[in-house]
C-alpha cells in the first residue's frame, strides 16, 4: 500500500515537473505576479504549447470521408424538397442555394459564385461574430426562393436567374486560435478560387464572417491565384484595421491590412478605404497611411462633399489600379441604427441606401473577383434587422456581379422601367 502510494507520488511529481515549463510559458502558475514569466524581449518568440497528441488536434479541419457517401456524380446538390418556398421555409443554405461540398462540385456545375461562411470570433470587440454565417443563412424575411421571381427592382436583374451559385459550406476554424485558423481559411478560399470555369473565369468567392481577421486569409487566397500586386482592395469600415500591435499577436480583427502590407501581398497604394470615423486611425496612423499611399474617404469628407461625389471618386479609383478587385465590407461602416448587431459600433455611419448603392455599382462597374461581409454579430441584436441588412448587402453584390456578366456596366445603371413612371 505504502509502496504503491510512493509510486503514484513519484509519477505525479515527474508529470508536474514535465508540465511545469509549459504552464510557466503561458503564465498559468497561480503564484502572484512575481513568478509570472518575464516580458518578451526583442527577438524572443513566445510559444503557446499545443498538445499534438490530442486526438482532436486536427479534427476541426479534417474532412470527413466523402467516399463513404452514397455514390454520386460531382455537381451541386439541391437540398430543398420543393420547387419553391417562402423565405423562412426549407433548409437554410445561403439564399436556399444548392450546396457544393468539393471544388469538383463547383467545376462540374460551372458555379460562378460560391458563397461560404467563416466564423472567426477571437478578436475582441463584443464576441458573437461566429454566429454571422448562419444568421445570414436564416436571414430571408420577405419573398421566397426556387421559381419565385426576385429581380432587384432598381435594375430589374435577378442574380439567381442570371448566374450559377452555390453554398460552399464553412471554412475550417480553430475557435481558440486565429493564428492557426488563418492558414486553413486561406487554403479553403483558394480551393474555390482556383476552380477555372470553361470560359476562363475563376470562381468568385463571397465570404460571410466572422470577424475582420478574415480579410487577411481571404485576400491572400486571391493573391495566391491572381498574383502579388494584381489584387486591389476597397475596404468599407469605420476603422482602418492596420493596427500593428495586439499583445504580441500578429493577427486580429484590427490588423489584417497591416499584415497584407507587411507581407507584400497588397501595397498601400492598392487600398481604398471608405467610411472611416470615430477615433481609429489616430493622427499618427493617418500619417502612416499617407506614407503608404493609401487612398481614403472618411466620413468627414462625406460631410464636406456629400456621398455622391465620394462614390464617384471611389469607383474611379477602384478602376485605376490592379486588374482584380476585392471588396471587404465591415458592417460597422453602416450606421449602428441599421446595424446594431456588430462588435465595435460607431455612430455617424452610412445609411443602407448609401451602402447598397455603392456595393451594387462597384460590382457592376469594376472587376470584382471576391467579396466579404464581416463583423455581423447577431448576438447583440435581438431583432432581425442586422441579419436582414447583411442579407441585402450580399444580394447587392450578387446583383452587381450579374449586371457585369450581362454587360450592364454603364455608369450608375438603373432600370428605365423603375427609375421613373415614364411620363416625363
Ligand atoms: Mn473592420
Q: Is the pLDDT assigned to residue 321 strictly greater than 80?
A: yes
Q: What is the CA(332)–ligand 1 centre distance, in A? A: 7
Q: What is the CA(115)–ligand 1 centre distance, in A? A: 20
Q: What is the CA(253)–ligand 1 centre distance, in A? A: 6
CA angle centred on 40, ends 37 and 43, rounded to 5°:
140
Residues 380-394: tens digit of each pLDDT: 999 989 999 999 999
Q: What is the CA(342)–ligand 1 centre distance, in A? A: 10
pTM for the structure as a whole: 0.91
Q: What is the CA(320)–ligand 1 centre distance, in A? A: 24
Q: How far apart are CA 65 and CA 78, in angstroms?
A: 20
Q: What is the CA(214)–ligand 1 centre distance, in A? A: 10
Cell of 120: 472567426
Q: What is the CA(227)–ligand 1 centre distance, in A? A: 24
DSSP state of 342: B
More confident residue, 417 or 28: 417
Q: What is the CA(28)–ligand 1 centre distance, in A? A: 31
- Give the chain's mean pLDDT: 91
- Looking at residue 38, its pLDDT comes to 54
Q: What is the CA(110)–ligand 1 centre distance, in A? A: 32
Residues 346-362: tens digit of each pLDDT: 999 999 999 999 999 99
Q: What is the CA(333)–ligand 1 centre distance, in A? A: 8
At how many degrees (to 10) do helices 215-226 and 178-193 cross? Answer: 40
Q: What is the CA(45)–ligand 1 centre distance, in A? A: 27
Q: What is the CA(246)–ligand 1 centre distance, in A? A: 15
Q: What is the CA(171)–ligand 1 centre distance, in A? A: 19
Residues 15-43: tens digit of each pLDDT: 444 444 443 344 334 444 454 455 566 77
Q: How far apart are CA 259 and CA 266, in angstroms?
A: 9
Q: What is the CA(215)–ligand 1 centre distance, in A? A: 9
- Looking at residue 178, its pLDDT comes to 94
For residue 331, name the pLDDT band (cuts at 50, 70, 90). very high
Q: What is the CA(200)–ligand 1 centre distance, in A? A: 33
Q: What is the CA(411)–ligand 1 centre distance, in A? A: 28
Domain covering 77-406, topology: 3.40.800
The structural domains of the chain, with segments of one domain joined by +, span 77-406
Q: What is the CA(403)–ligand 1 centre distance, in A? A: 28
Q: What is the CA(6)–ligand 1 centre distance, in A? A: 57
Q: What is the CA(336)–ligand 1 centre distance, in A? A: 14
Q: What is the CA(11)–ligand 1 centre distance, in A? A: 49
The CA-atom distances, in angstroms, between 252 and each of 212, 222, 312, 364, 380 are 7, 20, 32, 31, 20
Q: Is the pLDDT assigned to residue 109 strictly greater than 90?
A: yes
- Looking at residue 276, its pLDDT comes to 98
The CA-atom distances, in angstroms, between 30 and each of 15, 21, 24, 49, 98 are 18, 14, 10, 18, 52
The CA-atom distances, in angstroms, between 112 and each of 204, 302, 395, 405 are 6, 35, 15, 10
- Looking at residue 289, its pLDDT comes to 97
Q: What is the CA(99)–ligand 1 centre distance, in A? A: 28
Closest CA to 106 of 119, 96, 97: 97
Q: What is the CA(242)–ligand 1 centre distance, in A? A: 9
Q: What is the CA(213)–ligand 1 centre distance, in A? A: 8
- Looking at residue 108, its pLDDT comes to 98
Q: What is the CA(375)–ligand 1 centre distance, in A? A: 7
- Looking at residue 424, its pLDDT comes to 75
Q: What is the CA(373)–ligand 1 centre distance, in A? A: 10
Q: What is the CA(96)–ligand 1 centre distance, in A? A: 28
The answer to which of 14-28, 62-76, 102-116, 118-132 has the lowest mean pLDDT is 14-28
> Percent of the chain having pLDDT more than 90?
82
SS (H, E, C) 246-282: CCCCCCCCCCHHHHHHHCCCCCHHHEEEEEECCCCCC
What average pLDDT does the segment 306-313 reach? 98
Q: What is the CA(35)–ligand 1 centre distance, in A? A: 37
More confident residue, 257 or 67: 257
Cell of 64: 470527413
Q: Is the pLDDT assigned to residue 49 strictly greater than 90?
A: no
Q: What is the CA(255)–ligand 1 centre distance, in A? A: 9
Q: How far apart are CA 372 and CA 332, in angstroms?
A: 13
Q: What is the CA(254)–ligand 1 centre distance, in A? A: 6
Amino acid at each position: 500500500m505504502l509502496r504503491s502510494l510512493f509510486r503514484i507520488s513519484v509519477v505525479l511529481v515527474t508529470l508536474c515537473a514535465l508540465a511545469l515549463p509549459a504552464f510557466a510559458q503561458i503564465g498559468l502558475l497561480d503564484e502572484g505576479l512575481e513568478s509570472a514569466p518575464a516580458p518578451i524581449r526583442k527577438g524572443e518568440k513566445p510559444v503557446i504549447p499545443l498538445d499534438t497528441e490530442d486526438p482532436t488536434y486536427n479534427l476541426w479541419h479534417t474532412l470527413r470521408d466523402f467516399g463513404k457517401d452514397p455514390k454520386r456524380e460531382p455537381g451541386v446538390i439541391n437540398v430543398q424538397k420543393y420547387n419553391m418556398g417562402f423565405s423562412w421555409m426549407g433548409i437554410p443554405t445561403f439564399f436556399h442555394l444548392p450546396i457544393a461540398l468539393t471544388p469538383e462540385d463547383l467545376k462540374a456545375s460551372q458555379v460562378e459564385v460560391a458563397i461560404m461562411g467563416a466564423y472567426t470570433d477571437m478578436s475582441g470587440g463584443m464576441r458573437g461574430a461566429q454566429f454571422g454565417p448562419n444568421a445570414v443563412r436564416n436571414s430571408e424575411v420577405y419573398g421566397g426562393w426556387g421559381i419565385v421571381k426576385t429581380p432587384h427592382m432598381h435594375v430589374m436583374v435577378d442574380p439567381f436567374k442570371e448566374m450559377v451559385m452555390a453554398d460552399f459550406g464553412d471554412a475550417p476554424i480553430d475557435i481558440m486560435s486565429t493564428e492557426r485558423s488563418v492558414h486553413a481559411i486561406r487554403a479553403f478560399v483558394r480551393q474555390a478560387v482556383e476552380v477555372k470555369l470553361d470560359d476562363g473565369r475563376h470562381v468568385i468567392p463571397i465570404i460571410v464572417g466572422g470577424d475582420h481577421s478574415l480579410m487577411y486569409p481571404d485576400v491572400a487566397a486571391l493573391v495566391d491565384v491572381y498574383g502579388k500586386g494584381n489584387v486591389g482592395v476597397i475596404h468599407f469600415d469605420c476603422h482602418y484595421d492596420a493596427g500593428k500591435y495586439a499583445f504580441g499577436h500578429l493577427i486580429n480583427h484590427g490588423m489584417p491590412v497591416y499584415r497584407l502590407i507587411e507581407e507584400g501581398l497588397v501595397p498601400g497604394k492598392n487600398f481604398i478605404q471608405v467610411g472611416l470615423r470615430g477615433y481609429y486611425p489616430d493622427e499618427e496612423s493617418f500619417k502612416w497611411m499617407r506614407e503608404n499611399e493609401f487612398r481614403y474617404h472618411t466620413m468627414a469628407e462625406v460631410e464636406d462633399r456629400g456621398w455622391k461625389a465620394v462614390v464617384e471618386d471611389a469607383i474611379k479609383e477602384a478602376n485605376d489600379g490592379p486588374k482584380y478587385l476585392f471588396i471587404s465590407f465591415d458592417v460597422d461602416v453602416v450606421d449602428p441604427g441599421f446595424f446594431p448587431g456588430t462588435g465595435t459600433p460607431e455612430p455617424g455611419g452610412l445609411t443602407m441606401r448609401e451602402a447598397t448603392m455603392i456595393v451594387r455599382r462597384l460590382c457592376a462597374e469594376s472587376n470584382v473577383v471576391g467579396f466579404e461581409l464581416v463583423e455581423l454579430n447577431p448576438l447583440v441584436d435581438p431583432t432581425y434587422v442586422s441579419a436582414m441588412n447583411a442579407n441585402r448587402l450580399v444580394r447587392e453584390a450578387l446583383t452587381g456581379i450579374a449586371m457585369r456578366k450581362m454587360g450592364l456596366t454603364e455608369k450608375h445603371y438603373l432600370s428605365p422601367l423603375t427609375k421613373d413612371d415614364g411620363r416625363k
